Structure 1
Amino acid sequence: MVGGEDDLLRFLDRDAADAVFREHVARATEAAPSADEKVSMASPAVSLMITNRQRADLRALGFSEDTIRCMTPAEAHEHLGLDKPGR
């Protein structure tokens, strides 16, 4: 049989590589965070803008147009209670 020994070595190498791969997958699966951990690992929301609806709500709270114009989105969202968890 020509090349039989080379074929056998390639087969054994592939089998060893598959075993190592399965071992790595098993370790990664064990170390993977659960769905609850993934949620807690998410970065906090960033306030990027003040919407027209939020501007109207701020005016209803007694803020002037000039004050609203000078507010950062984070400040506006804090005044509106939008920075609280669960929102």
Structure 2
Amino acid sequence: MAGIDDHRRLHLDQAAAEEGVLDGVGDAGDAELHANGTAPATSPAVSLMITNRQRAALRALGFSEETIRQMTPAEAHGKLGLA
């Protein structure tokens, strides 16, 4: 039984250490934001799909089902002002 408690304690200690490292990474990103006045560089977002809500919004803007079906997600998001 003592071995199990020691094993659990070890995992909890490791989790606490990892959380501390991740908090430090977040703090470094926040420091970069405040130092430069801009957000750290990130990868550009990629539009992967058109959601049902977005399809409804496109229909409300006057696009036909066929036109929406032929749109790429990036085109649809651009029409909706999401790009």
Aligned mates of 1:40, 1:70 — CA distance in 2: 35
1:24 aligns with: none
**Identity among equivalent pairs (%):** 69
Aligned mates of 1:69, 1:56 — CA distance in 2: 12
Unaligned runs of 5+ in 1: 1-31
Which protein shows a greater Rg? 1
Superposed structure 1 runs of 4+ greater than 6 Å apart: none
Report the secondary structure of 1:78's partner residue.
Answer: helix
Alignment of 1:1-87 (within 5 A): 34-36=31-33, 39-83=39-83
**What's the offset of the Cα at 1:82?**
0.3
Equivalent position amino acid for 1:63 in 2: F
**What's the offset of the Cα at 1:53?**
0.1
Unaligned runs of 5+ in 2: 1-27
**What's the offset of the Cα at 1:40?**
3.4
Report the secondary structure of 1:40's partner residue.
Answer: coil
**What's the offset of the Cα at 1:39?**
3.4
- The TM-score, its normalising length taken from structure 2, stands at 0.55
Aligned mates of 1:54, 1:35 — CA distance in 2: 35
- The TM-score, its normalising length taken from structure 1, stands at 0.53
CA-based RMSD: 2.1
Equivalent position amino acid for 2:39 in 1: V
Aligned positions, number: 52
